[in-house]
Structure formats: structure tokens, C-alpha cells
Amino acid sequence: MEQQLYTIPKIELHCHLDGSVSIALLKQLALEQGITLNEQNLQVDQNCENLEEYLRCFDEIQKVLQTADSLQRSVIDVASQVVKDNVKYIEIRFAPLFHMEKGLSINETIQAVIAGAKLAMTQYNIKINILVCAMRQHSNAINIDLFDHVLQADNEHIAGIDFAGPEAAFPPEAIQEAAQYGVEKGLNLTLHAGECGCIYNVVESIKLGAKRIGHGVAINNDQQVLEEVKAQQVLLEICPRSNLQTQAISDVSELNLPYLLSNGVPFLINTDNRTVTQTTLIAEYDLLLKAQQLTMEDIEAINKNAVNHTFLSTEEREELRLIMK
Ligand SMILES: [Zn+2]
């Protein structure tokens, strides 16, 4: 089954850089930088109780990702994992403000990650773009300044922006000003929403102009919200294992994938954080196949359809469509 899963060309749209750096590279970076990492804090354990606890892993990982060199190597490291899932196009996201403890500027973090993406594309048969994450817990002024840096970077490899971080404490109203600023300036917006079970957040995120929703778990039982998602053709970036760990769901059947499929609600399966969650894209699809939530044909179809929801230009989408055949 895994071999058959491998052969399907895939797209991944929700993958965090820091949460996906391999343990091997994290250890190597710690060694080189003279930093002691608490290995137990790099991945969630089975007792993880919620999103807040899940997010704590990132504090440990980020200790070794404070230099341009480490950021650049991280992107290549993630690309080396992703190609083993036969991913042809990935949008990797990262939050610049979490990589400035040793003096990097916002622009330097962005340039380091882009340099990593360019190098990775010369080494592997994959196309990579970057999404810049604002954090919900930061003020609108801080996030607007971040988006200004994104706009000034004017780089073809930045595909869009996202808001990550604690959702329950910082609902859509809290980030409205910065999100609208980004959208008005023409940046593609995807938003983490519905991960805490709040349907209202998904609706509000769409109103803010989000073209995709990270997780969106909460909406699956609400007919009206599903209609809205479908009408707007907003794609749900679903991350099953991560949702199980943060206890957004207790079983993958709660994702209601067969229902989403039969109702034409666009979605794609993603890893979220390959290392923190201890997963691969093949493992995610394998889980859903075994739970009879998707068939091989479904997996092929949702990946092909995801081309339409990438933050790529029309021409680039056409090129990708040829590769996805
Ligand atoms: Zn995420």
C-alpha cells in the first residue's frame, strides 16, 4: 500500500518549517552551536492534551534556528523528507519573528529561507514556495510591519501569508486589522482557524479574505458553514495526526472526509509538522486509507484538484498540472 501511495504525485500546502526539521539536523545544529536540546521536548508525546501543549515543542526547536545557516539548511532538510512522499510542490511556512534572537533581521530570515528553497530545488525534483506566518499573539502593528517586509522582499518565492499561534486566546477580531492590510496589499492569505473547535472563527476568517483555511476542523458538522466554504471555494488544509494530538478530534472519522468529498468541499491532506507530530504525508494518507475515509482514487483526485488552490500564477499552475499527471 505504501508503494502505491508513493506513486501518486502530491502537493503539500500546510507544513511548518521549524516543526518539520529532522531530529538528526536539530541535533547536528545543537552540537555545532554548543546548545543543549531537551530531546523529549522536540516531539509531542501521547499525553499531549491540547494545542497549547503542542505548541510548546517549538520553543525547544527554535533555540537552534536562529542563524541564516541553520534556516537555509532546514529548508533543504525538509525538502529531502518531502520528496520521499513524492511531493511535487510544497508551500513551506515559517514565522520570521521567531528566528531573530541572535540578531537576524526580518529580511535576513526571509532571505535565508528563500536561499534554502532555491538550493533545495537544484538538489531535488520539487518546486518550493514560502509562506510567511504572522503570529496571533503579536500586535497588529508588529504583523503589519512584517507584511511590509514581505512586500518589500518582492520575491517570487514568497507565495503568501498566514496567521499561526494560539487561536482560542486570539480570535479573528484580534488579527483583523493586520489580515485585512495583507489582503488589501495583494498578499495571498491562508489562516489557521477552527483548530480549537470554533466554527465562528472559520466563518470570520473567510470574511477576512482567507483563500484557504488551516485545519478548519470545527466546520464539518455545520451545513451552513460548509455551504459558505464551498461557495467561496476555500480549501481546507487538513492535518489528521496533528488534530488527533491537539485533541481537536478524537478519531479521523470526525474529519467527515467522505462527506466533504461528496459535497464538493475542497480539501487537502497535510503533515502540519513532520517532526513534532512524527509523521509523513504517506503516513497521513495511510491512516485515512485504513480508516476507510479515503480511497486511492480520492487521494489522486484531491491532489490534482489542489493545484487550483496553490498560491501559484496561472502559468505555474498549468506547469504543475502537467507534472501531476
Ligand atoms: Zn499549522
Classify the C-alpha dihedral 93-17-146-206 as positive or negative.
positive
pLDDT at 48 over 90: no
Ligand 1 center to 60 CA (angstroms): 17
pLDDT at 19 over 70: yes
Ligand 1 center to 65 CA (angstroms): 18
Q: In what order do the strands lie in the sheet with 127-135?
A: 10-16, 87-94, 127-135, 158-164, 189-193, 212-215, 235-238, 267-269
Neighbour-count burial of 201, counting CB atoms closer than 10 A to its CB (0-12 exposed, 13-18 middle, 19+ buried): buried
- In this prediction, residue 1 carries a pLDDT of 79
pLDDT range class, residue 56, cuts 50, 70, 90: confident
Say if CB 249 and CB 224 are below 8 A apart.
Answer: no
More confident residue, 43 or 315: 315
Roughly how many angstroms between the first and final C-alpha of the chain, as a whole number?
A: 20
Whether 2 is catalytic = no
Contacts 24+ apart (CB under 8 A), 296-304: 296/4, 296/5, 296/8, 298/257, 298/261, 299/5, 299/8, 299/269, 300/8, 302/261, 302/266, 302/267, 302/268, 302/269, 303/8, 303/9, 303/10, 303/11, 303/268
- In this prediction, residue 154 carries a pLDDT of 66
* Catalytic annotation, pick one of 12, 195, 204, 237: 195
pLDDT tens, 132-169? 999 999 999 999 999 999 999 867 899 999 999 888 88
- When mean pLDDT is compared across 129-133, 215-219, 225-229, the lowest value belongs to 215-219
Nearest residue to 74 via CA among 114, 35, 127: 114
- In this prediction, residue 252 carries a pLDDT of 95
pLDDT at 74 over 90: yes
- When mean pLDDT is compared across 12-26, 116-130, 189-203, 246-260, the lowest value belongs to 189-203
Backbone φ, ψ for residue 315 (5° rounding): -65, -45
pLDDT at 33 over 70: yes
- Which of left, alpha, beta for 139 (phi over 0: left; psi -120 to 50: alpha)? beta
pLDDT tens, 79-112? 999 999 999 999 999 999 999 999 999 999 999 9
Ligand 1 center to 186 CA (angstroms): 22
Q: What is the mean pLDDT of residues 64-70?
A: 98
- Assess if CATH 3.20.20.140 describes domain 2-320: yes
pLDDT tens, 172-202? 899 999 999 999 999 999 999 887 768 888 8
pLDDT range class, residue 122, cuts 50, 70, 90: very high
Ligand 1 center to 134 CA (angstroms): 12
Nearest residue to 21 via CA among 69, 65, 77: 77
> Quick one: DSSP state of residue 234?
P
Give 3-state DSSP helix, strand, coil % of the chain, rounded to 5.
55, 15, 30
Say if CB 270 and CB 238 are below 8 A apart.
Answer: yes
Ligand 1 center to 58 CA (angstroms): 12
- Distance between CA 312 and CA 320 in Å, rounded? 9
Sequence ranges of the domains in the chain? 2-320
Ligand 1 center to 310 CA (angstroms): 16
- In this prediction, residue 163 carries a pLDDT of 95
pLDDT at 28 over 80: yes
- In this prediction, residue 169 carries a pLDDT of 87
Mean pLDDT of the chain: 94
Ligand 1 center to 164 CA (angstroms): 7
Ligand 1 center to 88 CA (angstroms): 20
Backbone φ, ψ for residue 159 (5° rounding): -95, -20
